[in-house]
Every structure is written in C-alpha cells, then in structure tokens.
C-alpha cells in the first residue's frame, strides 16, 4: 500500500482567517468576531503590532495548565453569546467556550472539502460514519453532497449544537442519524449487527469519557478501535480519516497504524500535519496530525 506524506493546508476563507500568531497565542477572525487565544505551537514572534492584537473582541486567559484549555474569556466589546460562521452555504454557530474553543475547527477545512467531493462524485449515496463528531462540520459537509451520515458523539450538548448547525444551514431534511453513545461500544454493537459503511471519519481526543463513564485513551485504544472500524467497512469503501490532537505520536505512527488496519483493501494512505495558513501568508500554524486512506 502506497503512503505519502502530504501537509494539508487550510487557507483563509470569507468567514475565517488566522490573522497572526506568535508568543504562544493566535489571533483569528470567526465571522465578524476576532479572538485572541493560546496556541502552544506558536513559538515565534508575531508579525502584527500589539495594538492590532488588542483590537480582539475576546481574549482567552488560561488557568496555567499545560495545554491552556481551561480558563475564561475577557470580552473587549459587545461580543454576542453566539454568532454564525459560513462555509460553502453551511452555517456553524460559534460560541465562546470555557475551554478556549468556539465549536469549530478551521484546520479541518481540507477534510470537509475532501469528504464533500467524495460524496458528490459517488455513483450512489455514500453511507458515512462520523465518530467523535462534535458539532458536525464534517457531517454537514458530507450530507450536503448527498451522503447518508451517522453522527456519533458522547456529549448530548455537542449533538444539540450540531443540530443547531443543521437547522441554520437549511439541511433539516438531510439524512443524518444522530447518536449519543460511547464510540467503542457503538462500533462493537454495529459489528454484531452486521452494519456497513462506505466511509468513516474519526477525530478522537487524547483522553475522553463516554456518556456512562466509559474510558478512552488514544495511545491504548486506537489500534483495536481502528481495527473494529475496518470491520464496519463495505466491500468497496471510499475512505477512512483519522485526526489526532495533543499526543506524543507522530504522523508516521498514524500512517503505519492506518496501513496495518487497511491492508486487505487496495488504496493509498496520505499522512502529515493539518496546517492553517496565516492571512498574510507569512506563516503556517500546525494544529494536529492526520492519516487518511482512500480507494
């Protein structure tokens, strides 16, 4: 099986831009709202002035933990509780969360496009499983192109948010099945039921808990979990996507795991980093690792 290292670069679009980065932070525009938040990868010097950074509508201050994920926002203006961000006629409702995120991960843009194109070009509707699916950007991108999607997340709140995005996007009639469950338990049950999918998307956390306290640790669970996902693939699958954040493995490790799991299928594996290009094109910010197989 051929494997190639390919960085995937998310470029700015009308409703999102990485304005600057540096000194452990990043400055971004989501729709009309500019946010200033921690980014441990940004070890370099910013290119914009301090005055430019001070114009942010919201600034996140962390509580000193290693990853800077928990803390609070300081609002610099009349920042709304929620606001829309649009991509390709799909709308996402953004909110300032206490763990520095807004419910949308722009670095995943390249995956949204790729899945959307795969679904649009398929001879018949693809049956896609989206695991650890959060607020549903990939689910909506696939469904908009005609795919049948099973969207799974362990958080009822995240699924409710995803449904808000579905409604805002005018995709209420799209064939999306919403499941609140532990991913490992669900995959095991689907195997017993004989269910099959043409494409699988997974974006697991480093650590996690299912709705009933089920434990997830990516370095311990990933290999067996991916093997189970492969059992769910149809005879002629289209793709498998794996994204990983905040872990000590490399993209080479992810690619090797993917190659092992997919060895009975003919196809190719791409792997590398997900990057965001700054608006001024002076830097790329690496956010996560990925490996994806396609037929």
Q: Reduce the secondary structure of 50-106 to three states and give it as a string.
A: HHHHCCCCEEEEECCCCCCCCEEEEECCCCCCEEEEEECCEEEEEECCCCCCCCCCH
3 state SS of 46: coil
Portion of the chain with pLDDT greater than 90, in percent: 83
What is the band of 64 on the pLDDT scale with cuts at 50, 70, 90?
Answer: low
**270 vs 213: which has the higher pLDDT:** 270
- Which of 5-19, 104-118, 146-160, 207-221 has the lowest average pLDDT? 207-221
Is the pLDDT score of 66 beyond 80?
Answer: no
Instruction: Give the pLDDT confidence score for residue 111 in this predicted structure.
Output: 98
Question: Whose CA is closest to 199, among 135, 153, 254, 131?
Answer: 131
Note the pLDDT of residue 217.
86
Mean pLDDT (the chain) is 93
Asked if the model's pLDDT at residue 27 lies above 90, the reply is yes
Residue 178: pLDDT over 70: yes
pLDDT (average), residues 60-86 = 80
pLDDT at residue 246 in the model: 65
254-275 confidence digits (pLDDT tens): 999 999 999 999 999 999 999 9
What's the confidence (pLDDT) of residue 69? 63
pLDDT classification of 282: cutoffs 50, 70, 90: confident
Average confidence (pLDDT) over 106-124: 97
Tell me if 104 sits within 8 A of 137, measured CB to CB: yes
User: 203-235 as b/e, with b when 16 or more CB fall inside 10 Å?
Assistant: bbbeebebeeeeebebeeebeebbebbbebbee
- Give the pLDDT score at 165: 98
Domains with residue ranges and CATH for the chain? 2-7+104-294 (3.40.50.150), 12-95 (2.60.40.1180)
Looking at residue 54, its pLDDT comes to 92
Cα 19 to its chain centre, rounded Å, is 20
Q: What would the pLDDT profile of 8-21 be if each residue is shown by its tens digit?
A: 999 999 999 999 99
């Amino acid at each position: 099986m051929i494997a190639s290292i390919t960085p995937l670069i998310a470029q700015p679009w009308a409703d999102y831009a990485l304005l600057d980065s540096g000194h452990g932070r990043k400055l971004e525009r989501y729709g009309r709202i500019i946010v200033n938040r921690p980014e441990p990868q940004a070890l370099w010097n910013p290119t914009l002035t301090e005055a430019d950074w001070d114009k942010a509508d919201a600034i996140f201050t962390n509580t000193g933990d290693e990853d800077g994920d928990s803390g609070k926002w300081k609002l610099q203006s009349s920042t709304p509780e929620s606001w829309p961000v649009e991509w390709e006629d799909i709308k996402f409702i953004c909110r300032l969360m206490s763990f520095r995120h807004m419910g949308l991960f722009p670095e995943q843009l390249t995956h949204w496009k790729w899945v959307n194109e795969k679904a649009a070009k398929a001879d018949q509707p693809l049956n896609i499983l989206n695991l650890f699916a959060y607020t549903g950007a990939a689910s909506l991108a696939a469904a908009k192109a005609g795919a049948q999607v099973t969207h799974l997340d362990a958080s009822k709140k995240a699924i409710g948010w995803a449904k808000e995005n579905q409604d805002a996007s005018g995709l209420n009639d799209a064939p999306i099945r919403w499941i609140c469950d532990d991913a490992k338990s669900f995959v095991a049950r689907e195997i017993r039921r004989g269910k099959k999918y043409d494409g699988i998307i997974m974006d697991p956390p480093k650590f996690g808990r299912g709705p009933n306290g089920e434990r997830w640790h990516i370095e311990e669970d990933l290999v067996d979990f991916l093997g189970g996902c492969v059992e769910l693939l149809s005879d002629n699958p289209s793709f498998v996507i794996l994204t990983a954040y905040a872990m000590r493995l490399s993209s080479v490790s992810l690619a090797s795991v993917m190659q092992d799991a997919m060895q009975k299928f003919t196809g190719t594996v791409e792997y590398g980093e997900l990057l965001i290009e700054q608006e001024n094109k002076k830097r790329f910010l690496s956010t996560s690792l990925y490996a994806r197989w396609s037929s």
